């Protein structure tokens, strides 16, 4: 018997996941998207996997450019995560007007200075996986590490702090 899509989504919603911002700089603009499907694949070589919507613009631009950055978001970035998860969003730079950021040396992609960490990456390959693609990324640099920052998590469809409490609206 096939699994009910709502039950499947509800079950996976019970799993708290860190929230990241994936950014790509191409010749035209900066593109970004919120992602919570990120996992460490290998320490040697340093490799991570990120789930992206198949056929989505971020996956398309990443495939074309071949480089990106991932910022692990802090609780203070809940509004940033919401902005980058919305459809029809403008340029990444416009969504970050009041947020301190810099560019990663290798990819030139935006990284948030107050994130928990940031990874400067090169695309190894994209693998089709149902309605998504897995982007396997080689980590070439770690331009940001803030061990005292508080993590932003996604749990039961909401952004929460490390204790699981929903974050107050700004």
Q: Give the tens place of pLDDT for each residue, 106-134.
A: 999 999 999 999 999 999 999 999 999 99
* Per-chain mean pLDDT for the chain: 93
- pLDDT given for residue 169 in this prediction: 65
pLDDT at 170 over 60: no
Q: How does pLDDT run across 75-92, given as a tens digit for each residue?
A: 999 999 999 998 777 678
Higher pLDDT, 115 or 94: 115
Q: Is the pLDDT of residue 37 over 80?
A: yes
State the fold for domain 18-153.
Answer: Pnp Oxidase; Chain A (2.30.110)
Query: What are the structural domain ranges in the chain?
Result: 18-153
Average pLDDT over residues 129-154: 96
pLDDT at 90: 66
In 55-68, which positions are buried (b, 16+ CB within 10 angstroms) versus exposed (e)? Answer: eeebbbbbeebebb
- Looking at the predicted structure, is the pLDDT value of residue 135 above 90? yes
Q: Is residue 150 pLDDT above 60, yes or no?
A: yes
> Mean pLDDT throughout 136-153?
97
Instruction: Evaluate if residue 155 carries a pLDDT over 70.
Output: yes
pLDDT at 34 over 90: yes
Other C-beta atoms closer than 10 Å to the C-beta of 7 total 9
């Amino acid at each position: 018997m096939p699994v009910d899509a709502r039950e499947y989504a509800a079950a996976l919603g019970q799993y708290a996941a860190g929230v990241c911002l994936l950014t790509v700089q191409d010749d035209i603009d900066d593109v970004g998207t919120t992602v919570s499907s990120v996992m460490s694949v290998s320490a040697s070589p340093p490799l991570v996997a990120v789930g992206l919507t198949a056929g989505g613009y971020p996956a398309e631009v990443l495939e074309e450019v071949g480089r990106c950055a991932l910022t692990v978001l802090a609780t203070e970035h809940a509004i940033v995560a919401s902005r980058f998860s919305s459809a029809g969003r403008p340029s990444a730079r416009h969504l970050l007007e009041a947020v301190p950021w810099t560019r990663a040396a290798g990819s030139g992609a935006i990284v948030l200075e107050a994130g928990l960490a940031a990874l400067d990456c090169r695309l190894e390959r994209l693998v089709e996986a149902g309605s998504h693609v897995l982007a396997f990324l080689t980590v070439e640099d770690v331009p940001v590490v803030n061990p005292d920052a508080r993590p932003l998590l996604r749990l039961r469809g909401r952004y929460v702090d490390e204790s699981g409490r929903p974050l107050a609206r700004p």
